[in-house]
Structure 1
Amino acid sequence: MSTASLVTVPSGRPTVSFELYPPRTPARAAAAWETVERLAAAGPDFFSVTYGASGSSRDASRDVVRRILAETSVPPIAHLTCVGATREELGRVVGELVDDGVRDFLALRGDAPAGQSGWVPHPGGLNGSSELVALIRDVERARFGATGALSVAVAAYPAGSSHTRAQDVAALLEKQAAGADFAVTQVFYDTAAYAGLVEDARSAGVYLPLVAGVIPMTDPRRLTRLAELTGVPVPTDLLARLADAADDEERHRVGIDATVELVEGVVAAGAPGLHLYTFNQHRPALDVVERLRRPLTATTTRTPR
């Protein structure tokens, strides 16, 4: 059983962490929890637990977070979005998660609900993730009397954002000013994209650690679908190599090779951590970790801000 723990990004070896999502049906619950147990056995620094693109499955996400707290020693980061809730409702959700034992949050604006052409704030809600960071800090001060009891992560975009790099960096500055502790990048496929974001962010005054978010590149259908959702194109040579693989095992090896090459590149570029988007599949993520040959001894500590 885990105790309340504050996720930090240490200055030593890169952190390693995994993103999970709640099972969509009861029939998938057992397989999803087997993935959690296998990943937890590797000793990651944290899990993050997402929910649906428009803020759906929030209750199911909370159930997974609670079980991680109760049955593992890995701190969970709970995702929050601004979608479909007022400021008061979001504040209540934060407080309930704190009561559950959560000490770590990922604050996101969230995608527009299905059928809505663009982002529009919920009536009485928040305009974006920087306001959500500030709300979490308000709840923290009300609960604990000061900041330092909770950690708050935010998103960063090395590639494929609908905004310009200058707008993305400006957004990071706003999130930093609101009280964010670190950022986790959305998907990208080349080291230059990550290194370019870091360089531009640092030049603008962003000092937040920028953890590299990477998807294991073993499933071409998933990569193609992700490109449709994010606007981040998959390298055509990678898709060709995956398509030319003789069988599933060779395809898996090709994808792991490509993923490890990317990870080694961003670590060499100074990435303070690696966050693997698992899609609730433990084998690709664990194969990446094994290939990196870095011991996963937890360095997560509860350290005052």
Structure 2
Amino acid sequence: MTQPSQSSSDLTTLSFEVMPPRKENLIKPFWDTVQRLLSVTPDFLSVTYGAAGQDRHSARDVVRSLVQDSPVQPIAHLTCVGTTATEVGEVVSDYLDAGVRTFLALRGDPPVGRPDWQPAPGGVSSATELVTLIRSIEAARCAQYPGAALRAAFKPLTIAVAAFPAGNPAAGTSPNQEVERLLVKQSAGASFAITQLFWETDTYVNFLEKARSNGVTIPIVPGILPPTDIKRVNRMTELTGVVFPEYLRRRLESAQSVEEMYSVGVSLGARLARDLHEVGAPGIHMYTFNKAAPALDVLDAAGLVSASHLDPSISR
């Protein structure tokens, strides 16, 4: 298996996914978590949108605040399930007005209990269509407003999409089919991809090799979930269909306490992050579920951030 080369750890991006708070009493803990994540100066934070856009208003508030009040580049998630093209266009324009320059275009999950869901007439049916729509809205703004065109020249719009190295069991697709889908997204105007979670380095490397040999040239950033909580791992297996390897499960389940399980999970996550870095991954994207400690501890143990990068005044 050929491994791509890695030139310098300084060139590896670090990023985190956060979920906007759904209740008022979660707002302060959410921003405390964000501040802890910012202590390692990530390249960006991605902000989820919720199933069928259910966190739409909270997400926009979070993204606006990050644009205005933080040094980090926010990535605004967008989903198209359950919305018309007009509604999606309004959200895109609102984000662009707020200064957002990066989106993560996703189809999103169908409504609960409707696995055979199909978009209504006038809806956006896929992430590829969503990428095309975002590009068209930006092009129209640049054509109409000279200032928008100038801003786009020195701060281009970038659009991320999802990639599925293990295939997408929920959609019944194989890794080869997901390479084909990624190539279509790239042709529509995707700038880079962030992967669904996976548990073994070879899963990423094999997918990357297939993607490159089939003409995918955009960066593919691996997404990692720290396996510090077996209940969380089991839940993500249910949601994604991506199987947690039995030998890793035995490692976690052999722990004699919650603290030991956490330590084992950090070690497993750190090894994956370190191995991905060594095979040349362009960055590491951490799925946090709004918990800073597991993500930061994994990156620290992997040697991708040092103690000097962690703000000593902030408890993780």
TM (norm. structure 1) is 0.90
**Which one of the candidate residues 8, 31, 43 is aligned to 2:41?**
43
The superposition leaves residues 130-162 of structure 1 with CA deviations (integer Å, 9 ceiling, x where unpaired) of: 111111111111122466621100000011512
Asked if 1:137 corresponds to 2:135, the answer is: yes
Q: Which residue identity does 1:294 align to in structure 2?
A: L
Distance 2:139 2:54 in 1: 28
In structure 1, the partner of 2:14 is 16
For the residue of structure 2 that corresponds to 1:54, the secondary structure is helix
The superposition leaves residues 197-233 of structure 1 with CA deviations (integer Å, 9 ceiling, x where unpaired) of: 1011111100010000000110100000000000001
Distance 1:50 1:151 in 2: 17
168-177 or 50-59, which moves further after superposition? 50-59
In structure 1, the partner of 2:94 is 96
In structure 2, the partner of 1:217 is 227
Q: Which residue identity does 2:271 align to in structure 1?
A: E
Larger radius of gyration: 2
Task: Determine if contact 2:274/2:303 at 8 Å carries over to the other structure.
Answer: no
Aligned residues: 289
Q: Which residue identity does 2:137 align to in structure 1?
A: V
**Which one of the candidate residues 189, 194, 199 is aligned to 2:199?**
189
**Which one of the candidate residues 156, 163, 166 is aligned to 2:163?**
156
For the residue of structure 1 that corresponds to 2:290, the secondary structure is coil
Q: Which residue identity does 1:246 align to in structure 2?
A: Q
For the residue of structure 1 that corresponds to 2:53, the secondary structure is coil
Distance 1:39 1:71 in 2: 15
Q: Which runs of 5+ in 2 are unaligned?
A: 1-7, 144-148, 310-316
RMSD between aligned alpha carbons?
2.0
Task: Determine if contact 1:212/1:275 at 8 Å carries over to the other structure.
Answer: yes
RCO higher in structure (CA 8 A, sep ≥6): 1
Q: Give the 3 Å change call, closer, same or farther, for CA 104–263 of structure 1 in structure 2.
A: same
Distance 1:176 1:11 in 2: 26
Q: Which residue identity does 1:168 align to in structure 2?
A: E
In structure 2, the partner of 1:84 is 82
Distance 1:281 1:96 in 2: 28
The superposition leaves residues 244-290 of structure 1 with CA deviations (integer Å, 9 ceiling, x where unpaired) of: 21222211110011001111222222210110000000000111121
**Which one of the candidate residues 125, 128, 140 is aligned to 1:127?**
125
Q: Which residue identity does 1:40 align to in structure 2?
A: L
Deviation at residue 53 of structure 1 after TM alignment: 2.5
**Which one of the candidate residues 184, 204, 209 is aligned to 1:174?**
184
Distance 2:304 2:49 in 1: 30
TM (norm. structure 2) is 0.87
Task: Determine if contact 2:273/2:299 at 8 Å carries over to the other structure.
Answer: no
In structure 1, the partner of 2:275 is 265
Deviation at residue 69 of structure 1 after TM alignment: 1.8
